[in-house]
A and B are shown apart, each in its own frame.
Chain A
Amino acid sequence: MDLADIPVLLMLIGIAAYVVLAGADFGSPFWTLTARGERAGEIREQTHRSMAPVWEANHVWLIFVLVVCWTAYPEVFGSIFSTLWIPLIVGCLGIIMRAVGYVVGGYATRRWVTWMATVASFVTPFMFGAVVGGVVSGRVPVGNAEGDIISSWLNPTSMTIGVVAVTLCAYLAAVYLAADADRKGRADLADAFRIRGLAAGVVTGLVAAAGVVVLREDSRFVYEGLTSGLGLADLAVSAVAGIVTLGLLALRRFPAARYTAAAAVVTIVAGWGIAQSPYILPPDLTVAEAAAADNVLIGLLVAIAIGLLILIPSLLLLYGLVLAGRFDPAGGDVVDHPDLVEGGTAVHLTDLDLPKRRSVGLTILVATTGAAMTLVFDDGAGLYAGVAMLIGALATGCVLLAISLAARQDEAPEG
């Protein structure tokens, strides 16, 4: 593998993560909308609670993919975004509409909000699927809006991948929600989502199978990649994972189904990469041709490595807390301010210490010196030292002043 291939591999990983994690965000409003009868409210609430803590983090994967693309393959990014601007901006506006659902969802159910979130749950996966279709069917030439801005995404391949994306999201959402309901001991809800998951799974499988036929007619190059060698093996793994998931759902093995469903998605994304290789914009531009200079790629990879070192433990912490049910309502170990209340009486109720005159004086001295230095020095170490002193004194001053102000507010108001 060349250095030039690593960023595109990371992009595929990012896309897989985005579909596996954020796909369920888009699938869930579908189930909210179709929920009827007395359980509708419960399904709505369950959907919101399961997704709300994680959806922002899920969406950052998309940003990650874009950033890697424009840094490592700048011309590819410019070409895709100029030619396919319509599905991209509509998909992105769908993300905003979905966010409105989350923002409001914690406080109330409003018809227009549910409606918007549901529209978004169709529009965004469909449009992003259509973008992928435009790329794999070779409709995005290199250049500034060189492709047809309509037929690049209104074409058989785009339509097919768009529809697969929509059903896939609904399917993932149902599987995850079933597992969440099961974890909370809500067998009835889990069953409701189980049936939805089975139905959506079958539909997704059928649409995907039909999609292969469409690819044969409309995107021959990718079709051949998918139906031979490594691509075919990958496709087979994906199909097996999908069928196993259906079996696990049928057997009510929800946690395991979550992972096999994710595996099916990951293999689909991998298949895309395999089928399109070595082209990044078929039929002309290869990954190697599109890649930025080696030092840029190395810089990017270093940045990503540093980022992952911090990101992975953080993500594990978040998903660990969520999957352990710590954020469930009244679930997990609720800690009731053990510091504040013990046996009904407050412990260590103390007044704030007012800042000492000396520390206030010192802060003012540092601030004044720093201010003078920023004014006197035009550049260089003197200026930067002055700014550092000024900002340091400002931060300290904010804490000291806020403490002394807050301490005084305990007393009776005047007037």
Chain B
Amino acid sequence: MASASQVFPPTDAFPAVDQNYLLEARQMQALSFAMHIPLVCFGVAFPAMVIFMEWLGLRTGKIHYTAIARRWSKVMITLFAAGVVTGTLLSFELGILWPGFMSVFGDVFGLAFGLEGFSFFIEAIFIAIYVYGWDRLSPRKHLLTGIPVMVSGLTGSLMVIAVNAWMNNPSGFEVVGGEVTDVQPWSALFGNGHLWPQLTHMYLAAYVVVGFLIAGVYAFSWLKGRRSAYFRTAMVVPLAIACLAAPTQILIGDWAARTVARDQPIKLASFEGLYKTTKGAPETVLGWYTDENTIEYGIEIPKLLSLLAYHDPNATVQGLETVAEEDRPPINVVRIAFQTMVAVGTGLAALAAWFLFSWWRRKRLPRSKWFYRAVIAAGPAAVVALIAGWVTTEVGRQPWVVYGVMRTEEAVSGADGIVFGYAALVVVYVALFTAVFWVLRKLARTPLPPEIVALEHAGGSRVDAAGLRVNERPGAGSGGGTDRKGGGDGSG
């Protein structure tokens, strides 16, 4: 299917253009995605953790749970704000960089973005009500306003992934004489075999990324000797989620890879750098794909690729040789990204196994300092795996923007000067992420509410006792003042 060099004849209005900066346009899009995707993880996975903490607080009456939920909710809205605007930029870039793609196929997948827009709307509304509604709504109502945030995070990512899955496995339209006709948007978007594995893979990735990043913050506190119930709880809850999601991700990743093997054989071949169509194909780990279509310095494991891709050690795997060179993606980028993702994912699962084993056998947290150091490293590592995963699927789709139907150079804008836009974008992103980083650091340094500080000083005493002691102070109920978002009083 992917062998013809130009399956899609350009329309009169949008002929393929001469864009000298196609690579820069792709980099600009890639940079914007790479900045946005980690923020998306927080929109998808973090609300559930915050709500869980709040629920624990309501369920038990213990204040440290609520204090954690409040603190996290402020982190959540800060990252959401950054996500809103980086997401807005992405939708602008779709038109600015890829007008050919949008003009020809906007009607096929636009519907999903419409539904995504509403999810985004709901998330923005309820995240504001949730964060600004502490102490203003009754606790139960407040908890309930968190639910739409969680749900819309899921539906929003469902819609975006539906579009991406369609780009990888396009259907729901006919191309007749250079015109797209017979558009069936619903079946194109939601009747697509790639949607569910991609969505599940991304959804779990979000929990792994957020779980390890948040746990890492408190693992750092642990190493610094701050080990009160507040800090330990804030570490173990996200850690529990990440440590269960990470091993599950291996199974889901296998499902996603099998889907690629079935529908995008050339993409699979570039994951592996497999040139010749091979029966009982080996898996080659590490190494570099050369111009002679061989892998240098790789470690070959016989029959593993066939086993993984088709669950049959003697299955035949299609090689890169079956398509013209111009129809192959840049092999090394894809292959290295893929191997990075798999390696980091495996490492995270191993870390998870360490944690789960020590909890199961000894009912305590690991004692080794190396465990906590590993948790600190796991967050950034998970982000690396996340981005590597997106590089794998998106660069692996090249040279197609719509797999096997429209090439990326047919989609790109013909406008001059795109590189200047790229430069401006970098400058503004530096400012944005500096600001976000500065606010998060400021939040981290904001003193804890007095009742939690008392708890920390109480050392080994039970939390509820400490909590009661503090609650008995008159007016202590509103002592969350230092921990309440209310304009310029956040610093203390």
Which residues of A line the B interface, CB within 8 A? Answer: 45, 48-49, 52-54, 56-57, 59-60, 62-64, 66-68, 70-72, 74-75, 77-83, 85-86, 88-90, 92-93, 95-100, 102-109, 113, 116, 142-145, 149, 292-293, 295-296, 299-300, 303-304, 306-308, 310-311, 314-315, 317-318, 321, 326-327, 329, 332-341, 344-352, 371, 374-375, 378-379, 383-384, 387, 390-391, 394, 397-399, 401-403, 405-406, 408-415
Contacts and interface: CB of A to CB of B under 8 A. Distances in A.
Interface core residue of A108, A349, A414 (most chain B CB under 10 Å): A349
Given A107-B443, A401-B240, 5 more contacts: A77-B95, A149-B417, A296-B111, A317-B125, A401-B244
20 contacts: A48-B487, A53-B129, A54-B128, A67-B91, A70-B106, A74-B102, A81-B96, A92-B88, A102-B81, A106-B490, A107-B442, A144-B13, A318-B129, A326-B133, A327-B136, A352-B59, A375-B251, A410-B463, A412-B460, A414-B367
Given A311-B121, A335-B138, A409-B236, A82 B487 contact: no
A82 B431 contact: no
B474 to A, nearest CB: 7
B93 to A, nearest CB: 8
Taking chain B's interface residues, is the majority helix, strand, or loop, or is none over half, making it mixed? helix
Nearest to A298: B185
A296 B181 CA distance: 11
Given A60-B120, A74-B107, A83 B415 contact: yes
A168 to B, nearest CB: 21
Contacts of A310: 118, 122
Nearest to B462: A410
A88 B132 CA distance: 32
A332 B136 contact: yes
B84 A59 contact: yes
A326 B132 CA distance: 9
B237 to A, nearest CB: 5
B308 to A, nearest CB: 11
B107 A292 contact: yes
A411 B462 contact: yes
Given A45-B487, A85-B418, A350-B60, A402 B236 contact: yes
With most chain B CB atoms within 10 A of its CB, the pick from A79, A107, A334, A350 is: A107
Contacts of A89: 92-93, 96, 421, 424-425
B364 A414 contact: yes
B438 interface: yes
B297 interface: no
Contacts of A335: 135-139
A16 B417 CA distance: 31
A408 B363 contact: yes
B471 A80 contact: no
B124 interface: yes
Contact of A66 (B13, B95, B421, B476): B95
Secondary structure class of chain A's binding surface, majority of residues: helix
Given A145-B415, A402-B236, A307 B118 contact: yes
Contact of B110 (A72, A80, A82): A72
Contacts, number: 401
B56 interface: yes
A57 B130 CA distance: 13
B244 A295 contact: no
B398 interface: no
A314 B128 contact: no
Given A89-B425, A334-B136, A341-B471, A74 B110 contact: yes
B311 interface: yes
Given A64-B117, A88-B95, A143 B417 contact: no
B485 A304 contact: no
A56 B132 contact: no
B222 to A, nearest CB: 9
B14 interface: yes
B487 A293 contact: no
B113 interface: yes
Interface-central residue, A89, A338, A379, A414, by most chain B CB under 10 Å: A89
B110 A70 contact: yes
B115 A303 contact: yes
Contact of A88 (B65, B96, B251, B414): B96
Contacts of A78: 14, 95, 99-100, 102-103, 106
Nearest to A314: B125
B184 interface: yes
A56 B442 contact: no
B107 A314 contact: no
B113 A296 contact: no
B99 A79 contact: yes
A333 B136 contact: yes
Contact of A352 (B60, B111, B245): B60
B220 interface: no
Given A70-B110, A88-B96, A96-B85, A350 B59 contact: yes
Contacts of B233: 406, 409
